[in-house]
Amino acid sequence: AQSVTQPDIHITVSEGASLELRCNYSYGATPYLFWYVQSPGQGLQLLLKYFSGDTLVQGIKGFEAEFKRSQSSFNLRKPSVHWSDAAEYFCAVGGEGGNNRKLIWGLGTSLAVNP
Amino acid sequence: EAQVTQNPRYLITVTGKKLTVTCSQNMNHEYMSWYRQDPGLGLRQIYYSMNVEVTDKGDVPEGYKVSRKEKRNFPLILESPSPNQTSLYFCASSLGDRDFSPLHFGNGTRLTVT
């Protein structure tokens, strides 16, 4: 069965530091992978997605993620964090058929940014 | 502005008192969905709709109803709310259900049932 694990429930970084949020998935075939961000008091917004091709994908707000099939991972990175990046980050995986109704969501990682 | 609008943002009610949370999108999206978000449980899908008059259960449909009479609206109905339905609810929409078109989320409705 498909599953998504975000090992870190909560992460705190200093403003200007680099960031990596981990996401591991379990899926038998090539997965479709997503990162969404939920800013305080807001709904979720798509940061980036991986469908195929280049394993390093660029997203909005200066984020990128790298798909590593051998490690079943899709980690989110940002070279320099801004205070406005404090939010909840969700990794999600989808399978064959491309159906949003079948997305599997991770439990989220809460990011705090120290000034 | 393209958006998904949920109302109300906050709602406190008592057990058994019927309530409706409205959701409206202005993007002509076919697919709409309701989620609840709870600490330690993440996002769980309640119901979804592929198009007008087409709805189906998600992972946690018990105690909820939905309808899709118009393309833009997808209200969530709690006929007899109970305290275990206290949660943060999100409505989402996408162009279609296929090809993983990006989901657009509303800002959420925080429901407390006492």
Return the residue of A nearest to B5 by Cα.
A43
Q: Write down the pLDDT at residue A27.
A: 84
Provide the Cα torsion B91, A64, A88, B67; round to 10°.
10
**Residue B31 contacts A, CB cutoff 8 Å:** yes
**What is the residue-averaged pLDDT of chain B?**
95
Q: Write down the pLDDT at residue A28.
A: 75
Task: Answer whether B100 sits within 8 Å of A34, measured CB to CB.
Answer: yes
Return the residue of B nearest to A97 by Cα.
B98
Q: Write down the pLDDT at residue B93.
A: 96
Q: Write down the pLDDT at residue A91.
A: 97
**Residue B4 contacts A, CB cutoff 8 Å:** yes
Query: Does A49 have pLDDT greater than 90?
Result: yes
Pairing of strands B31-38, A73-78: unpaired
Query: Does A97 have pLDDT greater than 80?
Result: no
Cβ-in-10-Å burial (0-12, 13-18, 19+) of B27 comes to middle
Distance separating alpha carbons of residues B59 and B73, to the nearest angstrom: 21
pLDDT tens sequence across B45-98: 999 999 999 999 999 999 999 999 999 999 999 999 999 999 999 999 999 877
